[in-house]
Structure 1
Amino acid sequence: MTSPERSGRPPIWFYYGAGRLTDLAEYPKVVLQPEFYNSAELAYLAEKGVQTLGYLSLSEDQGPPAPWQRPERNQDWGGAFVHVGHPQWVAHVVEQAKATVDAGFSGLFLDQLNVELTFPEDVPHLLTLIAAIRNEVKPGYLLANRGFGMLPRLAELVDGVLFESFSARWTDDGYAPWPPDVLEFHAQIAEQLLQLQLDLYALDYADSPGLTDFAVRRARQFGMHCAVSDRALSRV
């Protein structure tokens, strides 16, 4: 397999489509949607030395109405927010985690962790849920998306942290860097992350070489490997 340094590819990639196995095999680590890949495809990637991480949402539910759902919904993606500590939700998520790893994934990408911004009372429940997942899938790799409101405890439960939209974001009008005050705030968080014994990654969104280069260079300054894609994560 071509090394990411020689190919110009980052050591991690995020792809929410299907197929493209040959392209995905160029990355050491890939985050995928579990429903799009079967065990044979995951075995192929494993043979190529690729560590596959299955997507798992911990505080939003895209499924049909269920007792753990809150009435509020995510305005961007349409999923229902949940009561993270609801016993049936905990059982549901832990079973999803186990099924994903049993299917052949090397680990999990834990998403929707910023409950301190929406339902702060759920922060301790979310930590308990992550601990249950850790226990269920160990020694599988766990990558957390943000979740800064759970630090430093979160660092004891996961192997890496992703800083999504560290430097650049998608907007209703396309893609843009964050304004200076947000960039400074993100830099302060990144400096805290550097004190932890974790793998650090950034995922930024851009549609131009200039914005892409800005995101990659800025992430590197804070010890993060950076992947840059589109809003739908459809690029490989």
Structure 2
Amino acid sequence: MKKFLIVVSLFLGFLCPCVYAKTISSICFYYNNVDSKLELQNFDTVVLDPNNVSDRNIKALKSLGIKVYSYLSAGEFDGELTGDLSKYKKTDNKEWQSNIMDITAAKWHDHLVSEARSLLKRGFDGLFLDTLDSFNAYSSPDDDKTYYEKQIYGEKVLLEKLHKVSKNLIFNRGFEVLDKLKFKPVAVAAESIYKTYNAEHDSYYDVSKEDREWLSEQLNRVKAKGIDAIAIDYLDDSDLEARVLLAKKLVRDGYIPYVSDGLLNGFGVSTTYNIPKRILGLYDGRTTNQMNSALQNRICTPLEYLGYAIDVLDINELDYRLIDKTRYAAVITYFDDANSFSEHPEFSEWIEKHVGYIKLLFLGVLPTADSTLNALGINFSPVTMVSPYTMSVEPKKMNKGLLKPTFSNLEDYFPYKVDTKKGFKVLAQIKGSDGQVSDMLVKAPWGGFAINPYPVDYLQNGQEIWLIDPFMFLDEMLNLKVIPAAD
């Protein structure tokens, strides 16, 4: 509960003056996999992809007083059409690779009503009806006004059928039919007031003044009817401050805001937003199991003490789509050997593209690819260092007193160097008898690293010992936001 209050208070500064929202005060559209209620609990209404949430998590969210809506496409079918439904396809939506359906077809109506009933049985509170304006792709009042009016009437019939299944309906647009309905939806949403997204080119850009003025006029009609107006705008997740500023602007315009990525795969900004409370930890399941991994046994406890939840995952099963900074505060790797990097080139490529996007901490071993090390600002020499080694540690507050770790005669050590003029801070360094130097413990602008035998060494009796204070070390490296944790 403490965590929730801290997150909400960050946005109260511009939430208080707003009195427009009669039903919804904050909303989240999230179409990615829902594996817990952790991030969604900060919103009072959530819209989810029914294929990516379990009945158990629907129930868990509702137990917190959250209204849970299911996505349902009213005008399009996503996937391969089979059977009778294929007869009612009108055209293609090439940008989203979906089928635009005949909004007047009774069989299509029956299909949607059946889907709606199934969703309500699963526990959803209501339906978010998308693609209500898709009939505009195959009809136009300028070409055939009578035919166009027939489509609007067909949509009216469909919506009234769906309203009998669920009284809680949120529209995405549907402006053409709004005046003709016998009921009011809970809210009407519209995408792209200021910022929009192009799926075909995976790009974000500004909405034209003309389009914004037209859409604002439609939403003003919605508000005039006493219906909540939701504005969904799109910005990538690299700049939280820009998202917050845009959400504030939408609030000033009188809308319930939601600003997120173009695919709605991350957690966006409404009248509240999340401080990421998770950290992704990666181990290699080919060399160990989760319970015996160094990550599980050494890193999870201090991070949990700092108030974070740790998702410990096998890199061999990693879904890269889930690594986003709205979910995770950092990514930590703790592998037994460097093969875990060299044999997963796709992960090294991901690192290269995301340096500075999310905090990274490499423990034990570093990536092996030259291109990845260059992207991280680490210089590597393949020439083996010669023992014995001398060591310097700075600052001393990071050290627990074991100034000289044990260096194995069976392991080769190589020079890794960083440039302290570029924002790196060297905390521990060794020098070989041949004069080569390696930075072993480093705080970087993007996170940091600790090379074996850091951060944990073994005593002669086999007992593990931290060479540095683990709590101070993780906090220093990742610069984590303070999150109070319940005792």
Partner of 1:222: 253
Partner of 1:150: 177
Q: How far apart, in 1, do the equivalents of 2:153 and 2:134 lie? A: 10
Relative to 1, partners in 2 of residues 1:231 and 1:163: Cα closer, same or farther, differing over 3 Å? same
Q: How far apart, in 2, do the equivalents of 1:222 and 1:18 lie? A: 32
Task: Tell me: higher relative CO, structure 1 or 2? Use CA pairs within 8 A at least 6 residues apart.
Answer: 1
TM-score normalised by length of structure 2: 0.45
Q: Are the aligned partners of 1:143 and 1:162 in contact in 2 as well (CA < 8 Å)?
A: yes
Q: What are the Cα deviations for residues 148-197 of structure 1, in whole angstroms up to 9, with x where unaligned?
A: 11122358241110111122101336212212222222222232222011
Q: How far apart, in 1, do the equivalents of 2:125 and 2:219 lie? A: 26
Structure with greater proportional helix content: 1
Shift of 1:210: 6.4
Query: Structure 1 residue 125 and structure 2 residue 154: aligned?
Result: yes
Partner of 2:97: 78
Aligned runs of 1:1-236 on 2, under 5 Å? 2=4, 5-8=8-11, 11-19=26-34, 20-65=36-81, 66-115=85-134, 117-118=136-137, 119=139, 120=148, 121-138=150-167, 141-154=168-181, 156-171=183-198, 172=201, 174-207=203-236, 208-209=239-240, 211-213=242-244, 215-236=246-267
Q: How far apart, in 2, do the equivalents of 1:215 and 1:146 lie? A: 20
Q: How far apart, in 2, do the equivalents of 1:74 and 1:146 lie? A: 17
Runs of 5+ consecutive residues of structure 2 not aligned to the other structure: 13-24, 140-147, 268-487
Relative to 1, partners in 2 of residues 1:114 and 1:211: Cα closer, same or farther, differing over 3 Å? farther
Q: Are the aligned partners of 2:92 and 2:99 in contact in 1 as well (CA < 8 Å)?
A: yes
Q: Are the aligned partners of 2:72 and 2:127 in contact in 1 as well (CA < 8 Å)?
A: yes
Shift of 1:5: 4.4
Q: Are the aligned partners of 1:219 and 1:225 in contact in 2 as well (CA < 8 Å)?
A: yes
Question: Which amino acid letter does the alignment assign opposite residue 53 of structure 2?
Answer: Y
Q: Are the aligned partners of 2:100 and 2:134 in contact in 1 as well (CA < 8 Å)?
A: no
Q: Are the aligned partners of 2:61 and 2:68 in contact in 1 as well (CA < 8 Å)?
A: yes
RMSD: 2.2
Q: Are the aligned partners of 1:131 and 1:157 in contact in 2 as well (CA < 8 Å)?
A: no
Q: Are the aligned partners of 1:68 and 1:89 in contact in 2 as well (CA < 8 Å)?
A: no
* Corresponding pairs, count: 234
Q: Percent identity?
A: 24
> SS of the residue aligned with 1:184?
helix
Q: What are the Cα deviations for residues 58-81 of structure 1, in whole angstroms up to 9, with x where unaligned?
A: 111124323443251101111111
Q: How far apart, in 2, do the equivalents of 1:61 and 1:122 lie? A: 17
Displacement over 6 Å in runs of 4+: none
Q: How far apart, in 1, do the equivalents of 2:70 and 2:233 lie? A: 19
> SS of the residue aligned with 1:169?
strand
Q: How far apart, in 2, do the equivalents of 1:35 and 1:12 lie? A: 19
Q: How far apart, in 2, do the equivalents of 1:180 and 1:209 lie? A: 24
Q: What are the Cα deviations for residues 17-64 of structure 1, in whole angstroms up to 9, with x where unaligned?
A: 112421111110010011112221111000111111000011111243
> SS of the residue aligned with 1:13?
strand
> SS of the residue aligned with 2:163?
helix
Question: Which amino acid letter does the alignment assign opposite residue 165 of structure 2?
Answer: E
Relative to 1, partners in 2 of residues 1:205 and 1:165: Cα closer, same or farther, differing over 3 Å? same
Q: How far apart, in 1, do the equivalents of 2:104 and 2:41 lie? A: 37
TM-score normalised by length of structure 1: 0.89
Q: How far apart, in 2, do the equivalents of 1:173 and 1:64 lie? A: 23
> SS of the residue aligned with 1:43?
helix
Q: How far apart, in 1, do the equivalents of 2:242 and 2:208 lie? A: 13
